[in-house]
Amino acid sequence: MVSKRVALVASLLSLALFVGCELFTTSPFPGFVDQTDISIDLGSRINSITGGASPVTYDLNVVDQAGLSPRVLLLAEPPSSDPTQGFDYKGQLIFMDQSLNVLGQAATGSPLDFFSKPYAYSADSNNDILAGYFVLSPNGATTTVVAGGTKLTPLGLVGFAFNDGVATYVFATPPGQYASFDLSVAAYNSGWGLLYTGNGVRTLAIIPQAARPSPSDPNYTNLGYQLVGLAYDQASGYITFVFSEPAQGRIEAARLDLATATSGTGVLLPNPTSWPVGADAWPVALTEDRPQLHADAAGIFMVQRDGWMTRYTWTAPSQALAWTGSPVQIVGDRSLSRLYAFLLPQSGGPQYMYRFDPASRILTRYKRWW
């Protein structure tokens, strides 16, 4: 019996040596577990929103602005269509501070309205938060529609926003398009009046008109780029744009100053002569197909489809965009349903990662791991 056990142990050791270090370095647990800081169970609060209906979709975001307190926003959306009642939106936003203390909860006030991106602090004196085409108090206590009833529908549903202390800017994919060769741009003053004349929307070209496929192409509205990240640096006045190019399975980024980007005449990548544009024409590019992604002034976080989580850094906004240093990579989640948001305060201070698990309905804050 002993000899059989010895033989079994020897066989297992041989197998371990055969497969090498992978047996010991591969872990089913995320590499950031040891940085766990705060966790809260939002199950009962979410149940009060959904009434037990399923499936529920979620969106997790962090809103930050220099001189203001960061806000963590979790959007919970139960099913909004009933065959007997039609569309009836029931989604609500849960407002929390950076330490995950719940501050308030917001509903749209109308079953025909809905919350969506972009999220950003406003440029008004009340420090309001833009959530799609709604303006909310920093605690989620009030709900009004932007500009006294003017909604941001001309900008489409996928967008990013920020303010430079004077105006709130919104960049978005044009409505009805899966991808695009232009971005729509709107700007709002402190009273939520539109700053641009006409329909209030300007255009930022991603590549020149001459480099694009023919608009008569029946698949034209699916070609081009998806805006997946945006970071504005107030000190330098530069915006870093991050795009997904579905046709090539790539992530690309370029940088432009605010005045040019919002002029209606700017071109983000002015030199290409045809599309698809080679990766070497972009200031930075990665071979990655639509990961979860967060962009900030210092770089990007990517949660990849194979479960890895990677932090890439780039040069300061005052310099030409280029990668710096080596990427920091850890084992992340192998489930694509978990959501992430990151806080790198513009006013300085501790940096955190937030992770929401829809299965357990637990929201967790992690200390910096990168």
| Number of domains within the chain | 1
Distance CA 201, CA 277 (A): 26
pLDDT band at 108 (very low <50, low <70, confident <90, very high): confident
Q: What would the DSSP string read from start to end of 278-307?
A: PGGGSSEEE---S-EEEEETTEEEEE-TTS
pLDDT of residue 28: 59
Nearest alpha-carbon partner for 355 in 38, 27, 44: 38
Other beta carbons within 10 angstroms of residue 113's beta carbon come to: 17
For tokens 């910096």, name the residue: 368
Dmax over CA atoms of the chain, in Å, equals: 88
Most confident of 15-29, 196-210, 276-290, 314-328: 314-328
* C-beta of residue 198 within 8 angstroms of C-beta of residue 179: no
Tell me the per-residue pLDDT of 29-83, one tens digit each, with 9 for 90 and over. 789 999 999 999 999 999 999 998 899 999 999 999 988 999 999 999 999 877 6
Residue for token pair 């990665």: 286
Confidence of residue 18 (pLDDT cuts 50, 70, 90): very low
Q: Which residues contact 5 (CB under 8 A, 6 or more apart)?
A: none
| CATH, residue 50 | 2.120.10
Selection from 368, 362, 357, 369 nearest residue 330 by Cα: 369
Q: How far apart, in whole angstroms, are the C-alpha atoms of residue 273 and residue 268?
A: 14
Return the higher-pLDDT residue of 143 and 282. 282
In this predicted model, what pLDDT tens digit does every residue of 129-184 receive, in sequence order? 988 878 899 998 877 766 544 454 445 556 899 998 889 999 998 877 889 999 99
Range of the domain at 244: 2-367
Q: How much is the average pLDDT of 285-296?
A: 88
